[in-house]
Amino acid sequence: MTEKVEKRVAGSLTRFYVVALFIVAMLTLGGLYLIRKTIMSLNYDGRVVNVAGRQRMLSQRLAKLAILKTGKIAYRDSADFDSLLTVWKESNQQLATRKLMVGSDIVTWKSGPLDEMFARLEPVFNTIYQGLNKINDDNLSLSEKKQALDIVLQNEPVFLNIMNDIVFQFDKESFARLKNLERIEWILDIMTILVLFAEGLLIFRPVVNTTRRAVRLLTESEDALLKANRDLERSNSELIRVQKDILRIEEEKYQLQLAEDRIRASALIEGQEEERRRFARELHDGIGQMLTGLKLHAEKLGQTQFTDEKQRERFNQLVRLIQDTIQTTRQISYNLMPSVLSDFGISAALNLLCQQTSQASGLKINFQGIEKRIALSQAIEIGLYRIAQEALNNVVKHAGAENVNIRLEQNKNSIILQIEDDGKGFLIRNLKNKEGSFLTQNGIDNIRTRTQLLDGSMEILSEPDHGTTLEVKIFV
């Protein structure tokens, strides 16, 4: 009778255990499937956004070539006007029909807002496309081509604005899918915990009770007690081994999570820097060139005679405004991605940054760097430059300082960047909130994140009315 009960209990516990493991396995596989599916979707979203961004670039390039062709101005652009126009049209058709050819893959999507945006874009695109075709038609007269060019230039800003809305909508929907994945992942984690909790109640607790009864029976004899002690020793050894395995697994999981966070943050920062480089190129090569051409045309127009001195003054104001706009565009392009950083290295870039910041803010900024160029990777140079930018911005906005000293030093295996000011300072403990994480309003979190991504260390020394010193050390 006792043997039947033991078999029945053992069978019941085994079934419970198998079912629990099956549920945990299914939840794990389901989570992996959803994560993989979402990653593939986000990858496709990135491709679609790239094509949409290329559409904006192509429209601007075609408009520039149209201006040059209509004005019969010589240019060195190696791209064929017909080829660019064909690629522009085909990409627009693929985006509008929601079937985008990317290599050997066909990317599709479903979105009511995007369909409505592409519907608004269609007539604008057709108008520009027809105008570009007329400009490219050698059989039309110059006046007809100029009329077509006016239509193209009137509709291009509308086209660019709608394409911007489309790109932002793609990004918004991609972010929404990512948030949905996070919610599903939370649900799966909670379900897994509940299953494990039920497993503890329905399996491990009965096993413990059965073991307790067996031990109590074995204590009736000395031999049984010795045998039970040996069993307990073996159980303890196994339990210790299991505990060590659990601790090791938890540590690996924690390290994996840290690595994933660093990869995600690194990808975001790299994406930001790439977008800055792209914007800088577009400002310099696109708008900057167009403004320069506008200035040249204005200067030629200034050679004509004006009947009224007021007209001459207004014209001079217009030329000055164009020059200020060109200078502002160049400054914005430089701030996005300074060319001196790639041309002459981090030391020259920091020196120029100090001069520009000093001129703009009125602070006395002293830079002590290395005269020769330091052989560093592009990632380290950009990271150090952005850290210095953020630190100087904090000094200008919050420190109330008069003097700032910046020092760049190279040791045997490290690069040290130190920013010191004589401002009002602060208490270090005020930088932390209740959870102990650094606040972001003063840019400290941005500096800390970039330092960690470069495998470096950051130290802040400050006291009220005694200034602040920030030291970043990057190991190379």
- Together in a domain, 289 and 179: no
Reported pTM: 0.40
Contact 453, 266 (CB under 8 A): yes
Per-residue pLDDT at 439 exceeds 50: no
Query: Mean per-residue pLDDT for 169-183?
Result: 81
Q: Which two tokens stand for residue 293?
A: 């051409």
Contact 330, 288 (CB under 8 A): yes
Domains: count for the chain: 3
Average pLDDT, the chain: 76
Per-residue pLDDT, 56: 81
Q: How far is CA 415 from CA 169, 393, 402, 474, in A?
A: 42, 22, 26, 5
Domain final residue, candidates 291, 321, 336: 336
Per-residue pLDDT, 281: 61
Per-residue pLDDT at 344 exceeds 80: no
**Rounded distance, CA 354 to CA 332, Å?**
17
Q: Which two tokens stand for residue 342?
A: 């790639």
Quote the distance between the C-alpha of residue 371 and its chain's center: 33
pLDDT digits 0-9 by tens, 195-216: 777 767 766 676 666 656 654 6
Residue 26: CB atoms within 10 A of its CB come to: 13
- Together in a domain, 179 and 90: yes
- Together in a domain, 315 and 412: no
Instruction: Give a yes or no: residue 176 inside a domain.
Output: yes
Torsion of CA 368, 370, 376, 381, to 10 degrees: 30
Instruction: Give a yes or no: residue 449 inside a domain.
Output: yes
Query: Mean per-residue pLDDT for 435-449?
Result: 61
pLDDT digits 0-9 by tens, 58-93: 888 888 888 887 877 766 666 678 888 888 888 888
pLDDT digits 0-9 by tens, 454-472: 888 888 888 887 888 888 8
Q: Which domain holds residue 285?
A: 277-336
- Together in a domain, 9 and 138: yes
Lowest mean pLDDT of 8-12, 119-123, 253-257, name the range: 8-12
Per-residue pLDDT, 215: 47
- Together in a domain, 435 and 305: no
Per-residue pLDDT, 436: 41
- Together in a domain, 349 and 301: no
Which residues are CB-contacts of 35 (< 8 A; sequence separation ≥ 6)? 181, 185
Contact 373, 345 (CB under 8 A): yes
CATH number at residue 366: 3.30.565.10
- Together in a domain, 375 and 316: no
- Together in a domain, 390 and 325: no
| Closest residue by Cα to residue 474 from 418, 419, 392, 417 | 417
Beta strands 414-421 and 468-475: pairing type? antiparallel
Scanning 395-465, the segments in alpha helix (DSSP H) are: 444-453
Burial (CB < 10 A; 0-12, 13-18, 19+), residue 438, is middle
Query: Mean per-residue pLDDT for 382-387?
Result: 84
Per-residue pLDDT at 441 exceeds 60: no
pLDDT digits 0-9 by tens, 216-255: 664 666 777 788 888 888 888 888 888 888 888 888 777 7
- Together in a domain, 358 and 448: yes
Per-residue pLDDT, 105: 66
- Together in a domain, 186 and 330: no
- Together in a domain, 158 and 282: no
- Together in a domain, 140 and 152: yes
Contact 395, 419 (CB under 8 A): yes
Per-residue pLDDT, 221: 66
Query: Mean per-residue pLDDT for 419-432?
Result: 79
| Closest residue by Cα to residue 84 from 35, 128, 118 | 128
Per-residue pLDDT, 437: 41
Instruction: Give a yes or no: residue 304 inside a domain.
Output: yes
